[in-house]
Amino acid sequence: MNRFLTTQELYDEVRGRLELNWPGAPEGAERKIEIGEGRQRRPSLVGYLNLIHPNRIQILGAEEIAFLDSLPAATRRTTVQRIFQPQPAALVLVRGIEPPEDLAARAKRSHVAIWRSSKRGHDLLTYLQYHLARALAPRTTLHGVFLEVYSIGVLITGEAGAGKSELALELLTRGHRLIADDAPEFTQIAPDVIDGTCPDMLQDCLEVRGLGVLNVREMFGDTAVKRNKYLRLIIHLGPTVADGEQDGLKRLYGDVASHKVFDVDVPRLVIPVAPGRNLAVLVEAAVRNHLLKSKGIDAAQTFVDRQAHTMKRQRTW
C-alpha cells in the first residue's frame, strides 16, 4: 500500500518552517498526496506552475501571476480551469502574494487549498521536495540493533539470545552511538541510500536480558544516541563453524555477502559467536576494514596477489 499525506497533515508539519498561512476556510484538507504506482515522478509532487505535467502542489510566484495577468480574458479563464482540472492538492503563493480573485474563487469551488508564504519560491520548492521524499518513501522494519560505529550505520542482527543487545551495550561504553534497538525503521530516500531511524516508542531504549530496559540517553548522555543514520553495513552474529567445515575462501575474505534492502544491496558480514570472543573488538575491526575496502584497500586481496606473485617468481627460477 502506498504511503500518503493529506493536505492538512502536510500543512501542519511544515507551516512553521515555511511560514505558511491558510486564509479562509480550509478547503481540500483531506486530499491525498502520494507517489503513484511504480513510484512515478511525472507528474511530480511539487513544483512551479506546470500546465503540461501538473504538480500535486503548484507553486506560484511573481512570474506565474504575471503570466496569468498577460493573458486575454477568455484565455485566462481557460488557463485557470486547466490549473484546477487535475485536482491539485494545494496552490502555494510565495512572497506574500495575494491570490487573484478568479483563482481564489475557482479554488473554493474546486475545494483546493490555497496557501500563502512570505518565503521565496525556491526555498519552498527545495524543502517540500525533501520533506515529501522522506515522508512518502518506502519504509520497512528490520530486526536488530542499529548503531553508529566509526561514523557509519551498522545493523547488528542474529537469532534471539545471540547477544545483540549485550554487544550494543559494550559498543556504547566504547563511545559509539545507538540509533534504535529491536525494530529500527528503514526508509529508501534515494536510489542507493537507506536511512534508518528509531520508532518513537523505542526512543533511547535498549533491552538487555537480565537488566531489562535501559535508558541509554540517561545512562551515557545525549552523545550516546543519534536520531538517524544511513545503513552501510550489516553484521550478523552466527553460530561457530568447525575448522574442517569452513570454506577456505571465507578464512581469507571473511563470510561476506550482501542483503537486499528495497533495491539496495547492503554488505553483510557474518561473525561467529563463541565463548571468549571479544565481539565488540571484532565489530570495530569489521567496520574499519569496511571503511578501508570502500577506499580500495583490501587486505585479503593484497595477500592473494602477493602469494600469486611469489608462486609465479618461483616457477621462473
Q: Residue 35: give its domain's CATH number.
A: 3.40.1390.20
Distance CA 295, CA 285 (A): 15
Question: How many of the other CB atoms lie within 10 Å of CB of 88?
Answer: 24
Q: Which of the following is catalytic: 31, 164, 226, 232?
A: 164
Tell whether 29 and 152 lie within a shared domain.
no
Please give the angle made by the CA atoms of 284, 213 and 160, to the nearest 5 degrees: 60
The DSSP letter of residue 35 is -
Q: What is the pLDDT of residue 38?
A: 44
Tell whether 144 and 129 lie within a shared domain.
no
Tell whether 203 and 258 lie within a shared domain.
yes
Tell whether 165 and 244 lie within a shared domain.
yes
Q: What is the pLDDT of residue 34?
A: 82
Nearest Cα to Cα of residue 214 among 202, 223, 226: 202
The verdict on residue 287 lying in a domain is: yes
Q: Which of the following is catalytic: 41, 109, 143, 306?
A: 143
CB 109 within 8 A of CB 75: no
Q: What is the pLDDT of residue 135?
A: 85
Question: How many of the other CB atoms lie within 10 Å of CB of 168?
Answer: 25
Partnered with residue 180 across adjacent β-strands are 146
Tell me how long the chain is. 317
Residue span of the structural domain in which 223 resides:
139-307
* DSSP alpha helix (H) spans, 85-159: 101-110, 121-135
Place of cell 519504509: 139
Tell whether 11 and 154 lie within a shared domain.
no
The verdict on residue 118 lying in a domain is: yes
164 has catalytic annotation: yes
Phi, psi (rounded to 5 degrees) for 186: -120, 135
Residue finishing a domain among 83, 114, 135: 135
Tell whether 24 and 112 lie within a shared domain.
yes
Tell whether 172 and 122 lie within a shared domain.
no
Nearest Cα to Cα of residue 290 among 271, 312, 313, 262: 271
As averages over each run of 10 residues, the pLDDT of the chain (317 residues) reads 81 93 80 66 78 92 94 95 93 93 92 93 92 86 96 95 93 97 91 92 93 95 95 93 67 87 93 91 96 92 88 79
Please name the helix (run of DSSP H) or strand (run of DSSP E) that holds residue 264, with its range, or none: strand 264-273
Q: Which of the following is catalytic: 17, 174, 250, 251?
A: 251
How many domains would you assign to the chain? 2
For the entire predicted model, the pTM comes to 0.77
Tell whether 8 and 131 lie within a shared domain.
yes
* DSSP alpha helix (H) spans, 164-211: 164-173
The verdict on residue 316 lying in a domain is: no
Angle between helices 7-18 and 121-135 (to 10 degrees): 130
The verdict on residue 245 lying in a domain is: yes
265 has catalytic annotation: no
The DSSP letter of residue 183 is -
Q: Which of the following is catalytic: 76, 134, 182, 255?
A: 182
Query: Cell for 58?
Result: 503548484
CB 226 within 8 A of CB 180: no
The verdict on residue 315 lying in a domain is: no
CB 181 within 8 A of CB 212: no
Tell whether 104 and 130 lie within a shared domain.
yes
Q: What is the pLDDT of residue 36?
A: 61
The verdict on residue 312 lying in a domain is: no
DSSP per residue, 119-132: S-HHHHHHHHHHHH
Distance CA 115, CA 101 (A): 14
102 has catalytic annotation: no
CB 206 within 8 A of CB 213: yes
Distance CA 46, CA 124 (A): 9
Residue finishing a domain among 135, 166, 201: 135
Count CA atoms closer than 13 A to 283's CA, side-chain side.
32
Q: Is residue 8 classed as helix, strand or coil in its secondary structure?
A: helix
The verdict on residue 101 lying in a domain is: yes
The verdict on residue 87 lying in a domain is: yes
Q: What is the pLDDT of residue 243?
A: 61
Residue finishing a domain among 81, 110, 135: 135
The CATH number of whichever domain residue 143 belongs to comes to 3.40.50.300
Phi, psi (rounded to 5 degrees) for 73: -55, -45
Tell whether 149 and 103 lie within a shared domain.
no
Phi-psi region of 46 (alpha: psi -120 to 50; beta: other; left: phi over 0): beta
Tell whether 29 and 125 lie within a shared domain.
yes
Tell whether 119 and 233 lie within a shared domain.
no
